[in-house]
Structure 1
Amino acid sequence: MLKRKIDRHLEEWKENKNHKPLIIKGCRQCGKTSSVLAFAKKYYQYVVYLNFFENPHFQSIFQDSLDIDYLTMMMSALLGDKAIFKPGETIIIFDEIQECPQARTSLKFFKVDGRYDVIGTGSLLGIKGYREMPSSIPVGYETVIEMYPMDFEEFLWANGITDNMIDMLRISLKNETPVVDALHHRLQQLLLQYTVVGGMPDAVQTFVSTKQMDAVLQIQRDIVASYKDDMIKYASNTDKAHIRECFESIPKQLSKENKKFQYSVIKKGSTASRYMGSLQWIEDAGIITRCYNLSIPELPLDGNAIQDVFKVYMCDTGLFISMLEDGTQFDVLNGHLYGYKGAIFENLIADIFHKMGRKLYYYHKDSGLEIDFVMRYHTEAVLVEVKATTGNTKSTKTILNHPEKYHIQQAIKLGQYNVGREGKILTLPTYMAFLLTDY
């Protein structure tokens, strides 16, 4: 069983005596069900499990009444001895809860009743046009947690890197001292492997167990195909084709010199009005994330974001690699991250930052200034340059040399280095990106 960060969130939720029913949302196949079931079996005597996607007839349980005694009676009638209800000892799991809006409405009544803990999971929650029923959301009676595919730290755990080793990295970052060579080289290898494998649990488990990259690639391509199927099945009829076209344009968008998302790249002559909703659908499904250009690289970042100028990255680096041409896996594993005009490397960093819960920002001016990422770090706005090779940092130095104009005092350069410093620029190995938290 793969160790996931959500495990600790679930334990903390249970330890809170006043906890509400829990909703875990995230893209399909990121491990929601596996984590919730493992937690439930570990901490509860009885687990009542309903999957509304696999068993649509379960929705009938909620048609006539949301009284808790009635609901438990109906679940018992349908599930037999798989549904045992004892206060404080039973947990109820509503899997794919977006398929049954009334089940989500019932969470309010489960909270008020208080006898049973309830967790719902959903992969298409809040998607425009999909089972829209705003009144079904029990505002104030549920806690919502976002779950992502496995992040780089979870990937390290799966590959035998211990918390003690990760603590060594934190000390190196804090003291700005080099990482010991053996660990440094091991983590450089694992970063390349993570770039290709990504964080989908099935892909990670297959990689850890077999090291067969063809099997990993097949899993990834199956997941991408299932996402495309979702776009056809669940989007409104007017959006189906546009959503898929928008999604399939992402590799092309990122392979440009200027990686700003352009609707005309989807189809010649296309405009924002035609595809804006399609892009939002894909983002709401947890498949992509946006990185917004800043009018000026200073705090508050969100306040300085230009909402209609952005890049689009895949939320999982492994899925992105699987969408590129055959042979890309081999190139990356051999250290060639500079293909596609740096898109692979940028998407890797976007993956790492996004899974940390960071919003993404960059800075680009027509004058030629270009900063890959700008983030809040230790209460300041900090420039982040990502270099697949030991490239120059002309834009970074230009901004740092004009503090009266840009109000930037520090920058971080991620690349194939060990820890070091060049004046105001902290150089870090790319694998340390996941440690750049704002505290």
Structure 2
Amino acid sequence: MLTRKIIDKLAQWKNDAHHKSLVIKGARQVGKTYAVNEFGTANYEHVISLNFEEHPEYRTIFATDHSADAIYSQLSLFFPGAEFAQRKTLLFLDEIQSCPDAITSLKFLTIDGRADVIASGSLLGISYRDVSSYPVGYVDHMEMYSLDFEEFLWASGISESTIAYVRGFFDRREQVPDAVQQRMMQLFKEYIVVGGMPEAVQTFVDTKDFSKVVHIQRDILAEYENDIAKYATGTEKAKARACFLSIPKQLARDSKRFSYSVVEPRSSARKYGGSLQWLYDAGIINFCYKLDAPELPFEGNSDNTKFKVYMRDTGLLIAMLEDGSQKDILDGNLGIYKGAIYENIVGDIFAKNGKPLYYFEKNNSLEMDFFIRYDGVATAVEVKSSQNRKAKSMNSLIENHGVRRGIKLAPGNYGRIDDRVEVLPIYMAMFL
């Protein structure tokens, strides 16, 4: 059984005396259903679970009357003996994107308050356009991702005390003992290949068979394509699929800024911009926006027309590549994807830690992979797939653009280039 951080967040939500109905967003197969059912079983006398994709007939409960009395009366017909009083029951509305009327009803269920309500969906960002009245102000929100690196370590048998031991070297800015460094890099490479999709992680933990992991990952990718075919409308179907399939090629380029011409020669945002947004709303990709200046506040000086695109789960990105790529990564033979894969995993880690993604470039000659707010300072983060400690771009940013701090993430051990730039083992991105 995989341990997920969202369980603690759900407990915080439940213990808030003023909590509302909760909406959990997240891509397919990240573990939303399992986590909510596990939480519900442990914390409520009753759990009533409605999956609108598996049981379309449940949609009729919300079709005509959105009032709480009407909904609970009909639920009692579907679930004889169910009790709805004093928040002793959790009502779980799963795959709610397939029932827009249920989304509208969340307002009235929140006001009523006789049961706790959690709704989850894989394509909620897509389905909002079909909701007649979204319950603004009447719902709490939470986002769920595939397993982060720490959760992967737990699944691999690494205890919290061991992770705290490793973090101690980060906090003290000391070199990690060689045996620990080698083991952490091995686990990190496994995480790159396996990713964080729960079924893939559990299969790897149980079997150590990468071929089985790849089979699961490609099934998930096929589900993503099926979702595009099912939920994208009109010409968006072909365009969203084309954008999705172009991601490995985008990241293999020297300049990783997303180029619509890679999707289709001489194309533009006018044709494909909406398709990329569809993939983001479906929880498949992350955007990393260009900064006009390498300074805070990031949101205030970012250019939303220029961006890089990363897969939200790096294991799925690897599964999009040809067979044998997994072994190449484990062996350190990354080829043209060398920088892209390490960038994607760091972007994935930052996003799961709640960090918005930004990068900086100037005149096609100066580029910094990421900028994050760290210790209250705009911090340049350069990702390296080798132990090369040269810092030309970093030095230029510090000397010519007012950047005060830089961090290089690389496979090697801790070190300093000077008093403003330090080198951290790449897996320590989880601590930033």
Q: TM-score category by the smaller chain?
A: over 0.9
Pick from 188, 191, 211: which aligns with 1:191?
188
When structure 1 is superposed on structure 2, of 169-178 and 221-230 the one drifting more is: 169-178
For residues 378 and 284 of structure 1, what CA distance do their matches in structure 2 show? 31
Question: Which residue does 1:87 correspond to in 2?
Answer: 86
Q: How does 1:297-308 map to 2 (within 5 A)?
A: 297-308=294-305
- Tell me by how many angstroms 1:186 deviates: 1.4
Which of 387, 393, 401 is the matching residue for 1:395? 393
Q: Secondary structure at the match of 1:132?
A: helix
Q: Which residue of 1 aligns with 2:142?
A: 145
SS for the counterpart of 2:78 is helix
Distance between the aligned counterparts of 2:186 and 2:310, measured in 1?
Answer: 23
Work out whether 1:431 is the aligned partner of 2:430.
Answer: no
Please give the per-residue CA displacement for 1:343-398, whole angstroms capped at 9, x wherever unaligned. Answer: 11111111111111211111112251111111111110111111110233211112
Question: In 2, distance between residues paired with 1:80 and 1:185?
Answer: 57
2:410: which partner in 1?
A: 415
Deviation at 1:135, TM superposition (A): 3.8
Q: Provide the rounded CA distance (Å) in 2 between the counterparts of 1:72 and 1:199.
A: 37
| 3-state DSSP of counterpart to 1:126 | helix
Aligned to 2:344: 347
Aligned AA (1:409): R
Contact 1:295 1:306 (C-alpha < 8 Å) held by counterparts: yes
C-alpha contact (below 8 Å) 2:100/2:131 kept by paired residues: no
Q: Structure 1 residue 326 and structure 2 residue 323: aligned?
A: yes
Distance in 1 (alpha carbons) for counterparts of 2:258 and 2:163: 35
Of all paired residues, the percent bearing the same amino acid is: 50
1:257–1:341 contact (8 Å) kept in structure 2:
no
TM-score (norm 1): 0.95
Aligned position for 1:229: 226
- State the alpha-carbon separation in 2 of the partners of residues 80 and 155 from structure 1: 40
Measure, in 2, the Cα distance between the counterparts of 1:235 and 1:374: 33
**Segment of structure 1 superposing worse, 417-426 or 18-27:** 417-426
Matches of 2:62 and 2:212 in 1, distance apart? 41
Q: Report if aligned partners of 2:382, 2:408 keep a CA contact under 8 Å in 1.
A: yes
Paired AA for residue 218 in structure 1? H
Q: Deviations over 1:50-80 (max 9, x none)?
A: 0011111101011232332321221121233
1:2-41 aligned at under 5 Å gives the runs 2-41=2-41
* RMSD (CA atoms): 1.4
Structure 1: stretches of 5+ with no match in the other structure: none
Pairwise CA distance, 1:409: 1.2
5 and 237 in structure 1: CA distance in 2 versus 1, 3 angstrom threshold = same
TM-score by length of 2: 0.96
* 8 Å CA contact 2:100, 2:128 repeated in 1: yes
Matches within 5 A, 1:127-276: 127=126, 130=127, 132-276=129-273
Counterpart-to-counterpart distance in 2, 1:101 and 1:274? 28
Aligned to 2:370: 373
Distance, in Å, in 2 between the alignment partners of 1:180 and 1:162 is 18
Structure 2 residue runs without a partner (length 5+): none
- The alpha-carbon deviation at position 170 of structure 1 amounts to 2.7
Q: Secondary structure, in 3 states, of the residue corresponding to 1:72? A: helix
Q: 2:51 aligns to what?
A: 51
